[in-house]
């Protein structure tokens, strides 16, 4: 006999592993809205009147997050808009950008696209080529975080939302414990609080949502996304091994993963924002004389990409006004 929705008794489309219940497509959407709403409340991610800039890569997790937040925005009185960074990585970036543009139309939220080549004068492959000491993903991470934070600050947003799921955060946490480093542990929390005028809050509304749910959600809510794979995606590294292990945990012991992460959130090192210095080139907060973004872009371009980025954002101000 086919499984039935726990709420309405109609044919079910997905089983929520940690709640051990089957849901139909309508109640899956309602369930995820409730789950994300509870995460927002539990970790104080957003309040009424806040403006949140939702990072959409074109992939399924950030697309799910955007769809769920767009439905919650009017109910909870916050405002959401989308940001996509076009990295300029061949077909992967073309498909990702197209998916983000489709998503914006589908969920009716304004979208700002920041193409790196246009905004700072160099795309990701050029930056990667000139910065050999960092891995491609580390360079990409620095650039994406910087662009998102500056865009949010300049365009009047209170928070940047990223689509990290329960599996992502659990993978960061495990990496932090294995490598005994604080950075992944700090990233493994639902919220990294901002600092007035320098950082906006970085929030993860899918912190307690798993892969099964986002995959089902994009399918049944007809949310546009792409499964295009970036050519720099690592194939076999410690990060990949950790993620495979955490995904198996999620499959086999789903409720264990949620309770383990609540313990991690309670003990994770607090983001240290106070006392940071300022970049001597762009003024962004940093612990070194020149921030990582200015160092990376200067190596590729001969000068920091920060002034060009600021100018680009100024010109696009009305897109998300
Ligand atoms: Fe960036 Fe690495 Fe993801 Fe490619 S795989 S988009 S380089 S983080
Ligand atoms: Zn139902
Ligand atoms: Zn700088």
Q: What is the pLDDT of residue 82?
A: 98
Once rounded to an integer, what is the mean pLDDT over residues 208-221?
A: 93
Residue 7 CA to ligand 1 center (angstroms) comes to: 39
Long-range contacts of 291-296 (CB under 8 A, 24+ apart): 291/146, 292/142, 292/146, 293/142, 293/143, 293/146, 296/127, 296/130, 296/131, 296/134, 296/139, 296/142, 296/143
Residue 147 φ then ψ, to 5°: -60, -45
- Whether 208 is in a domain gets the answer yes
Residue 230 CA to ligand 1 center (angstroms) comes to: 6
Q: Whose CA is nearest to atom 7 of ligand 1?
A: 137
Q: Which atom of ligand 1 is nearest to the CA of 136?
A: 7
Q: What is the pLDDT of residue 235?
A: 81
Q: What is the pLDDT of residue 1?
A: 65
- Whether 18 is in a domain gets the answer no
Residue 221 CA to ligand 1 center (angstroms) comes to: 26
Q: What is the pLDDT of residue 145?
A: 97
What ligand has the least distance to the C-alpha of 5?
A: 2
Q: Which domain holds residue 244?
A: 26-273
Q: In this structure, what is the dihedral angle of CA atoms 13, 16, 19, 23, given to the nearest 10 degrees?
A: -20
Residue 221 φ then ψ, to 5°: -90, 5
C-beta neighbour count of 52 within 10 angstroms: 22
Residue 238 CA to ligand 3 center (angstroms) comes to: 30
Whole-angstrom Cα distance, residue 294 to residue 234? 25
- Whether 311 is in a domain gets the answer no
66-102, pLDDT tens digit by residue? 999 999 999 999 999 999 999 999 999 999 999 999 9
Choosing from 172, 233, 236, 237 the residue with most ligand 1 atoms within 8 A of its CB, the one to mutate for a pocket test is: 233
Q: Is the model's pLDDT at 275 over the cut of 70? A: no
- Whether 231 is in a domain gets the answer yes
- Whether 260 is in a domain gets the answer yes
Q: How many domains are contained in the chain?
A: 1
- Whether 2 is in a domain gets the answer no
Whole-angstrom Cα distance, residue 197 to residue 200? 8
- Whether 17 is in a domain gets the answer no
Q: Which atom of ligand 1 is nearest to the CA of 124?
A: 7
39-72, pLDDT tens digit by residue? 999 999 999 999 999 999 999 999 999 999 999 9
- Whether 112 is in a domain gets the answer yes
What ligand has the least distance to the C-alpha of 14?
A: 2
Q: Report residue 285's pLDDT band, with 50, 70 and 90 as the boundaries.
A: confident
Beta carbon of 140 within 6 Å of any ligand 1 atom: yes
∠ CA 201-134-125, rounded to 5°: 90
pTM of the prediction?
Answer: 0.94
Alpha helix stretches (DSSP H) within the chain: 25-42, 60-76, 90-107, 116-120, 124-130, 136-154, 166-179, 182-187, 211-220, 238-252, 254-267, 292-301, 306-315
Q: Report residue 254's pLDDT band, with 50, 70 and 90 as the boundaries.
A: confident
Q: What is the pLDDT of residue 28?
A: 95
Residues 6+ apart with CB under 8 A from 165: 61, 206, 207, 209, 210, 211, 214
90-146, pLDDT tens digit by residue? 999 999 999 999 999 999 999 999 999 999 999 999 999 998 888 899 999 999 999
DSSP 8-state secondary structure symbol assigned to residue 12: P
Q: Which atom of ligand 1 is nearest to the CA of 144?
A: 1
Question: Which domain CATH number covers 146?
Answer: 3.40.50.620
Q: Report residue 10's pLDDT band, with 50, 70 and 90 as the boundaries.
A: very high
Q: What is the pLDDT of residue 252?
A: 86
Residue 32 CA to ligand 1 center (angstroms) comes to: 27
């Amino acid at each position: 006999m086919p499984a039935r929705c726990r709420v309405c008794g109609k044919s079910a489309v997905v089983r929520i592993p940690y709640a051990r219940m089957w849901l139909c497509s309508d109640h899956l959407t309602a369930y995820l809205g409730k789950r994300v709403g509870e995460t927002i409340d539990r970790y104080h991610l957003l309040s009424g009147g806040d403006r949140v800039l939702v990072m959409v890569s074109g992939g399924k997790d950030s697309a799910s997050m955007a769809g769920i937040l767009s439905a919650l925005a009017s109910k909870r009185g916050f405002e959401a808009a989308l940001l996509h960074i076009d990295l300029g990585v061949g077909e992967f970036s073309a498909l990702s950008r197209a998916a983000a543009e489709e998503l914006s139309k589908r969920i009716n939220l304004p979208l700002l696209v920041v193409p790196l080549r246009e905004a700072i004068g160099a795309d990701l492959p050029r930056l990667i080529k000139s910065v050999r000491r960092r891995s491609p993903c580390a360079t990409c991470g620095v650039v994406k975080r910087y662009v998102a934070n500056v865009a949010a600050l300049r365009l009047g947003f209170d928070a940047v939302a990223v689509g990290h799921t329960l599996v992502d955060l659990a993978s960061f946490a495990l990496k932090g414990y294995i490598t005994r480093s604080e950075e992944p542990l700090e990233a493994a929390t639902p919220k990294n609080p901002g600092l007035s005028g320098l950082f906006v809050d970085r929030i993860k509304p899918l912190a307690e949502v798993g892969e099964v749910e986002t995959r089902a959600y994009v399918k049944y809510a007809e949310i546009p996304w792409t499964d295009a794979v970036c050519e720099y995606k690592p194939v076999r590294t410690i990060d990949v091994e950790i993620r495979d292990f955490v995904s198996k945990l999620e499959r086999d012991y789903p409720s264990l993963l949620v309770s383990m992460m609540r313990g991690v959130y309670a003990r994770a090192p607090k983001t240290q924002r106070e006392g940071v210095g300022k970049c001597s080139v762009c003024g962004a907060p940093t612990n070194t004389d020149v921030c990582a973004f200015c160092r990376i872009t200067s190596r590729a371009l001969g000068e920091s990409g920060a002034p060009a980025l600021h100018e680009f954002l100024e010109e696009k101000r009305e897109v998300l006004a």
